[in-house]
């Protein structure tokens, strides 16, 4: 059962990695909102971490990479760095978790070190979940705040893009992966010293048997007593 849970954790971890990469690369963190006087639905503007894209009905979509990092708003600047860190952490966590599975030969003969390494991988997944959640929620909060701000003109207002929803789903996958790995670590740790206790209990009858065999070997036989009597 533990092996199946660990395989499930690896699958969820890979889904989290793909989600983090997709959310970082897709230019749909903020999309144009068609409200008020901004009713030109033939034009769509997408804003991402690395580029913005402009789409018209009869024209092919055009994307342009940002000329400078200073063009971005503070939340998008932070999101760019945090998402890259999250991807790196997920890759490292998957690499470590792959070597600490129950069927692998990593740390052979030292189950304690293997279990601690598994807990470290689970902690990395939880850290990656937190680092992914911060920029996604920050950008979403800024978009919602500006959307209901009467001072901001309608043409500058944006809506939540698909990358934000992918980011929230990625956080769920990473959170589930970290929890499963830590639960597997706790189960392994609870059974870490059980073989030694069992081995200690099995040696007691053996020692008692040896002692009884020594005493029985020293006991004089009836034939010896008969010759001694004569």
Residue 196 pLDDT exceeds 70: no
The pLDDT of 4-15, averaged and rounded, is 88
Per DSSP, the residues of 165-189 read HHHHHHHHHHHHHHHHHHHHHHHHH
Chain-centroid distance of CA 38 in Å reads 41
The pLDDT of 6-20, averaged and rounded, is 91
Which residues are bridge partners to 65 per DSSP? 51
Q: Provide the pLDDT confidence category of residue 200 given band limits of 50, 70 and 90.
A: very low
Helix (H) or strand (E) holding 45: strand 43-47
Cα–Cα distance, 210 to 218 (Å, whole number): 13
Residue 35 pLDDT exceeds 80: no
**What pTM, to 2 d.p., does this model score?**
0.75
- How confident is the model over 98-154, as pLDDT tens digits? 887 655 555 565 667 777 888 899 999 999 999 999 999 999 999 999 888 888 877
The pLDDT of 176-205, averaged and rounded, is 66
- How confident is the model over 65-79, as pLDDT tens digits? 888 888 888 999 999
Residue 61 pLDDT exceeds 60: yes
Select, from the ranges 163-167, 192-196, 207-211, the one with the highest average predicted confidence (pLDDT): 163-167
Instruction: Identify the pLDDT of residue 115.
Output: 79
Domains of the chain: residue spans and CATH: 2-192 (1.20.140.150)
Cα–Cα distance, 98 to 7 (Å, whole number): 9
């Amino acid at each position: 059962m533990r092996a199946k849970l660990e395989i499930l954790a690896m699958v969820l971890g890979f889904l989290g990695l793909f989600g983090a990469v997709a959310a970082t690369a897709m230019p749909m963190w903020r999309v144009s909102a068609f409200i008020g006087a901004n009713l030109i639905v033939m034009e769509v503007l997408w804003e991402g971490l690395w580029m913005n894209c402009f789409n018209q009905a009869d024209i092919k979509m055009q994307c342009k990479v940002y000329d400078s990092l200073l063009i971005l708003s503070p939340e998008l600047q932070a999101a760019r760095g945090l998402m890259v860190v999250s991807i790196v952490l997920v890759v490292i966590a998957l690499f470590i978790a792959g070597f600490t599975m129950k069927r692998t030969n990593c740390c052979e003969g030292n189950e304690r070190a293997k279990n601690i390494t598994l807990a470290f991988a689970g902690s990395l997944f939880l850290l990656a979940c937190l680092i992914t959640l911060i920029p996604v929620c920050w950008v979403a909060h800024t978009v919602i705040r500006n959307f209901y701000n009467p001072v901001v003109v309608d043409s500058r207002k944006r809506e939540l893009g698909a990358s934000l929803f992918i980011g929230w789903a990625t956080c769920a996958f990473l959170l589930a992966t970290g929890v499963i790995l830590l639960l597997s670590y706790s189960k392994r740790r609870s059974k870490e010293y059980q073989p030694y206790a069992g081995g200690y209990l099995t040696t007691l009858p053996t020692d008692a048997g040896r002692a009884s065999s020594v005493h029985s070997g020293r006991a004089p036989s009836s034939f010896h007593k008969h010759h001694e009597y004569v």
